[in-house]
Structure 1
Amino acid sequence: MASQLPAVPRFVFTVFEPISLLAGFFPAVFSPDWFITEQIASLTANTPTVSLTENSRVVARQLGNCYGLAFLVAIAVLYSTTEIKVVRNYLVALWIADIGHLAITYLALGHEKAMAIGEWNPMTWGNVGVTLFLCLTRTAYLLGLFGPGRPVATPARKMQ
């Protein structure tokens, strides 16, 4: 199916997004302390230190596992199906999840930190910037703004 998507969404959904999912997987699983601490960018030196527990480390690693699962599902769906309806439904589900992710991150950051774009750390750019980019790309694709994809090549039928 990936070969049937228009060029921009094909690159974004089949290359950029899987790489970004792995970028979330590895630190969450292998460096959970850093992953947890970086979730909300500290804007001042007076921000209290995050208290890390084994519970929070398990949750971070479980989230990392979800990133890994999302990576595998993306590869499985986009590289195996020839049904455009399956791809569209997959992208609609991700679009809804993008909106939820952005809302949850906004609520955690608060309005002031969410609007202080110049103060964002790499984690915030991933949580907000990358997710917003993916959501907008999905929106444009679903609205048909990238144009039609390539038709599915069907094998010629043998005449009897």
Structure 2
Amino acid sequence: MSDFPALPGAYKGLFLYIEPASTILPAVLIWSTPGAAWFHHELIPAPGESPHILEARTRMAIWQLGNCYLLLGMLSSFVFRAIRDALPGNPAGQERILGASLLAMAIADATHIVASFIGLPDALKYRPDLWNPTTHGNISFVIILLLFRVAWFLGIGRTRYYFGKQSSERAKST
């Protein structure tokens, strides 16, 4: 049996490695080079260079957004590994705790997608060919994450140990 049966294969690669890296990277970019002004400019695709200076409140909001990205990356990285390491012989327990985290992240994904889409100017909403990598990250990539979370809950490509089991089966496995 795998060391993390509740998070096998592609799910493990995506949620334990790719997603944490993809959420920690924006924080690093915001706090270093190219910086908060660049990130602010990239949120909505626009021609021209980013401003070099942001108003203090805007800069603070972008830095705090970077902190949220960092938090999400650390939670999925550290908490998922803690679940794996603390419950090695308990796949139902792993799945129950992992599922709580994935549900919270799925809700955040849905609201993030909607907020990002609504925030786009009308001329860009239905033109993904005009989106920049940041916009695709905020919408396209987050849609992929949400679809993988839904697939995980549906048991696609994995054995279910807790979710999708009857109450009597759950009691036996935890």
> After TM superposition, is the score higher than 0.5?
yes
Q: 1:115 aligns with which of 122, 126, 133?
A: 126
Gap runs ≥5 in structure 2: 88-93, 162-174
Q: 2:23 aligns with which of 21, 24, 27?
A: 21
Q: 1:132 to 1:111 in 2, by over 3 A?
A: farther
Residue 37 of structure 1: CA displacement? Answer: 0.6
Helix, strand or coil: the match of 1:3? coil
Q: Write the mapping of 1:5-154 to structure 2, written as runs, cut at 5 A.
A: 5-30=7-32, 31-42=35-46, 52-81=54-83, 82=87, 83-148=94-159
* Rounded Cα–Cα distance in structure 2 between residues aligned with 1:50 and 1:145: 47
* Rounded Cα–Cα distance in structure 2 between residues aligned with 1:32 and 1:98: 23
- 2:171 is aligned to none
AA of the residue aligned to 1:16? I
Tell me the number of residue pairs that the alignment of Structure 1 and Structure 2 aligns: 147
CA RMSD of aligned residues (A): 2.3
Residue 51 of structure 1: CA displacement? Answer: 8.2
Residue 71 of structure 1: CA displacement? Answer: 1.4
Gap runs ≥5 in structure 1: 151-160
AA of the residue aligned to 1:67? Y
Deviation readout 1:111-154 (Å, 9 max, x if unpaired):
5412101111111111111111111111111111122168xxxx
* Rounded Cα–Cα distance in structure 2 between residues aligned with 1:146 and 1:69: 28
TM-score by length of 1: 0.83
Residue 54 of structure 1: CA displacement? Answer: 1.0
More contact order relative to length (CA 8 Å, sep ≥ 6): 1
AA of the residue aligned to 1:109? L
Helix, strand or coil: the match of 1:69? helix
Percent identity between matched residues is 27
AA of the residue aligned to 1:37? H
Residue 28 of structure 1: CA displacement? Answer: 2.2
Asked if the contact 1:32–1:61 (Cα under 8 Å) also holds between the matched residues in 2, the reply is yes
